[in-house]
Chains A and B, each alone.
Chain A
Amino acid sequence: MLRRRNLLTTLLIALPWALLLTLWHQYPTTRYLSLLRKETDENVTSKAFLNGTSALREEGLPSCIRQQQSIGATPRIIQNYVYSRPPPWSDTLPTIFVITPTYTRPVQKAELTRLANTFLHVQNLHWVVVEDSPRRTNLVSNLLEKAGLNFTHLNVETPKSLKLGLSWIPSHTPRGTLQRNLGLHWLRDSFSNTAPPEGVVYFADDDNTYSLELFEEMRYTRRVSVWPVAFVGGLRYESPKVSPAGKVVGWKTVFDPNRPFAIDMAGFAISIKLILEKPQASFKLEGVKGGYQETSLLKDLVTMDGLEPKAANCTKVLVWHTRTERPTLVNEGKRGFTDPRVEV
């Protein structure tokens, strides 16, 4: 027979705990903890984790957020997810180093903005932006800080003599060469040949258009991989010629198809290991004929039969060599009509 006092005591002890438990799930931190626990069980990509932390983050946080959990999921094209920040860094996926030379002109901020919007969807991407300028500009620095990507910001100015050197054939002036070489130099400085990271280097100009699928195609490059590029060489697309056995045997181009590598800058990616193995390989500055800039680098790295064809044996177009019109700022006049303090 329970005494009334004991019953009362038990009730008084149990009641607060019962009420607390029912309200437990509403409290933000406990939800956060339970989600973390669930993640390791279900091996879900940690979107929910970002859910809890996105409120705490502000725009200017440092770009490289390394999280210890390895996702383990195979890399997939983003179909259902929306990221306001890049996907969490994975310790198992190879890194894609994208080297983008850029130079100041009115459309620069627009180009870099939409490029950043593309790269924010790609997991394990490190953006190396190399400005053609004597100093790193505020425009690019601020853009990179706010974008939220992993990045490295470099600069090297192309000397005037080089810019004008081949200007009697203006279309053949190799643009961005010094900048790309600086990007390669940074990679060789940052990583050692004895313990090369898993990864690939891609040269992405700031006015091209890249599909998300392209990055997953290039991620597992062993030496040098290649694929078709649209709107180059006066064609709908240029592409490597692939034999039924899956090896590259030639080039489907009209302009000088007998070049050792008749491919556009956006049509190939090189594994980091290979870049570090061959430290002397870089783009040649002088004496490069029109259309041979890519050859000047690739010939020191690989031969045609060592190339890996991607994009369904080079039958899909995943990158477009778009070019942006130069805006005619006719109404600015001599002294500038618009407020120069407003960044465009």
Chain B
Amino acid sequence: MRLKLKNIFLLYLVVSVLGLLCALLQLGQPCACPPAPGAERSRGGARGGAQALPTIYVVTPTYARPVQKAELVRLSQTLLHVPALHWLVVEDAAAPSALVGGLLASSGVPHTHLHAPTPPERRPRPGDPPWVRARGAEQRNRALRWLRDTRTPRDGGVVYFADDDNTYSVRIFEEMRSTRLVSVWPVGLVGGLRFEGPVVSGGRVVGFHTGWRPERPFPLDMAAFAVALPLLLARPGARFDPQAERGFLESSFLGGLVTPQQLEPKAKNCTEVLVWHTRTERPKLRQEEQLQRQGRGSDPRIEV
């Protein structure tokens, strides 16, 4: 072909038509646009598509003791890595405290601060051994009430009960996000075992691997399951029974929601441990107590 102006124009036309066709093909595909540029610019990569993700509602009952602030601080540092998360902190107290309020405000985690006191007859008594703690049933029920009051089934989302002394890998939150009814996974260092969890066969839960009271309808720890919010809202009667026997608190709640066969196994068919039931020692404050008896205790205005 001779190098005529006509040919050059023809070539140019062909190239631009091809480019146009490519662009039109792109039009049919899902758009990778960022949402509102100003607000979303300050969010991290993990939150880039936050709008589309079902929200995880993390319910944490907490009570005042020396290590409370430390526990909540390190839990908040984990939760800060999870996009589309709403933290419901429920204090076992008659009124919200400044310590927890201040901590939540500066944590950077979207949250709601609630409180619900445990009735005196269910609180640990002075003579009880140190491992006896209040069950947290009233606090979790308070959070359930908040969800029922403020959320509709259309909202979608998942509810997870996360105690403030456990350890969570960031991955467990991504595992639970796809819950349709109730999902389950193993929990490390609980029930007197290295880990306790469901036995899965053919992608379904067929039994439970536990060393303690296997006759429980749901021999699971509180941190071992997550409930889809629409299911919770469809069962207004589902709650934690504060009168339930020790170890049966989870069953009292789950029994009103699903049968064991309906549980959805996560964490690679329940073969990976992504959450651990760690417990923090009570710190030895003997010198502090001595000083306080002498009226020379540490400055209570310095928050610990």
Query: A residues touching B (Cβ–Cβ < 8 Å)?
Result: 9, 12-13, 15-17, 19-20, 23, 25-28, 31, 44, 47-48, 50-51, 53-54, 77-85, 106-107, 109-111, 113-114, 117-118, 120-121, 209-212, 228, 230-231, 233-237, 254-255, 315-317, 320-325, 327-333, 336-338, 342-344
Nearest A residue to B209 via CB reads A338
Residue of B66, B190, B276, B285 with highest tally of chain A CB at under 10 A: B276
User: Can you offer 12 A-B residue contacts whose CB atoms are under 8 A?
Assistant: A47-B45, A53-B45, A79-B106, A80-B108, A81-B42, A81-B108, A82-B80, A117-B81, A235-B298, A236-B302, A331-B193, A342-B272
Using Cβ atoms and an 8 Å threshold, which residues of chain A touch B212? Answer: 331
Flag if A234 contacts B287 (CB, 8 Å).
yes
Using Cβ atoms and an 8 Å threshold, which residues of chain A touch B74? Answer: 114, 117-118, 209-210
Flag if B278 contacts A331 (CB, 8 Å).
no
Using Cβ atoms and an 8 Å threshold, which residues of chain B touch A31? Answer: 32-34
* Cβ-based interface call for B23 (8 A): yes
Cα(A51)–Cα(B42), bound, Å: 11
Cα(A334)–Cα(B236), bound, Å: 45
Nearest Cβ on chain A to B205's Cβ, whole angstroms? 16
Flag if A82 contacts B81 (CB, 8 Å).
yes
Nearest A residue to B72 via CB reads A209
* Cβ-based interface call for B152 (8 A): no
B70's partner among A109, A322, A331, A336 (CB-CB below 8 A) is A322
Among B263-281, those with CB < 8 Å from A are 271-273, 276-281
Flag if A320 contacts B12 (CB, 8 Å).
no
A17's partner among B16, B73, B77 (CB-CB below 8 A) is B16
Among B60-84, those with CB < 8 Å from A are 66-67, 69-71, 73-74, 77-78, 80-83
Q: Contacts A19-B20, A114-B167, A317-B304 given: A324-B280 contact, CB under 8 Å?
A: yes
* Pairs A-B, 10 closest by C-beta atoms: A331-B211, A234-B287, A331-B192, A54-B45, A110-B276, A16-B16, A320-B70, A84-B46, A231-B283, A110-B167
Nearest B residue to A112 via CB reads B167
Using Cβ atoms and an 8 Å threshold, which residues of chain B touch A83? Answer: 44-46, 81
Flag if A107 contacts B276 (CB, 8 Å).
yes
Flag if B192 contacts A328 (CB, 8 Å).
yes
Nearest B residue to A48 via CB reads B41
B26's partner among A15, A26, A230, A328 (CB-CB below 8 A) is A26
* Cβ-based interface call for B284 (8 A): yes
Using Cβ atoms and an 8 Å threshold, which residues of chain B touch A343? Answer: 273
Using Cβ atoms and an 8 Å threshold, which residues of chain A touch B244? Answer: none
Flag if A16 contacts B17 (CB, 8 Å).
yes
Query: B residues touching A (Cβ–Cβ < 8 Å)?
Result: 9, 12-13, 16-17, 19-20, 23-24, 26-27, 31-34, 41-48, 66-67, 69-71, 73-74, 77-78, 80-83, 106, 108, 167-170, 186, 188-195, 209, 211-212, 271-273, 276-281, 283-288, 290-291, 297-298, 302-304
Cα(A230)–Cα(B247), bound, Å: 33
Given A19-B23, A79-B106: 20 more A-B contacts, CB < 8 Å: A13-B12, A47-B45, A79-B108, A80-B108, A82-B47, A113-B167, A117-B170, A118-B74, A234-B288, A235-B285, A235-B287, A236-B66, A236-B302, A237-B302, A254-B287, A317-B303, A342-B194, A342-B195, A344-B188, A344-B276
Flag if A111 contacts B73 (CB, 8 Å).
no
Nearest A residue to B32 via CB reads A28
A254's partner among B34, B211, B291 (CB-CB below 8 A) is B291
Question: How many A-B contacts if CB must be within 8 Å?
Answer: 227
Main secondary structure of the interface of A (DSSP, over half): loop
Q: Contacts A16-B16, A16-B20, A82-B43 given: A235-B288 contact, CB under 8 Å?
A: yes
Flag if A322 contacts B34 (CB, 8 Å).
no
Nearest A residue to B174 via CB reads A84
Flag if A322 contacts B283 (CB, 8 Å).
yes
Using Cβ atoms and an 8 Å threshold, which residues of chain A touch B73? Answer: 209, 211, 320
Residue of B71, B80, B285 with highest tally of chain A CB at under 10 A: B80
Cα(A263)–Cα(B273), bound, Å: 37
Using Cβ atoms and an 8 Å threshold, which residues of chain B touch A78? Answer: 80, 108
Nearest Cβ on chain A to B244's Cβ, whole angstroms? 21
Q: Contacts A109-B276, A327-B189, A342-B195 given: A47-B167 contact, CB under 8 Å?
A: no
Using Cβ atoms and an 8 Å threshold, which residues of chain A touch B12? Answer: 13
Flag if B189 contacts A106 (CB, 8 Å).
yes
Q: Contacts A19-B23, A26-B26, A338-B194 given: A51-B34 contact, CB under 8 Å?
A: yes
Flag if B304 contacts A230 (CB, 8 Å).
yes
Nearest Cβ on chain A to B288's Cβ, whole angstroms? 5
Flag if A23 contacts B304 (CB, 8 Å).
no
Nearest Cβ on chain A to B281's Cβ, whole angstroms? 4
Flag if A332 contacts B192 (CB, 8 Å).
yes
Flag if A234 contacts B284 (CB, 8 Å).
yes
Flag if B189 contacts A51 (CB, 8 Å).
no
Nearest Cβ on chain A to B265's Cβ, whole angstroms? 14
Flag if B13 contacts A12 (CB, 8 Å).
yes
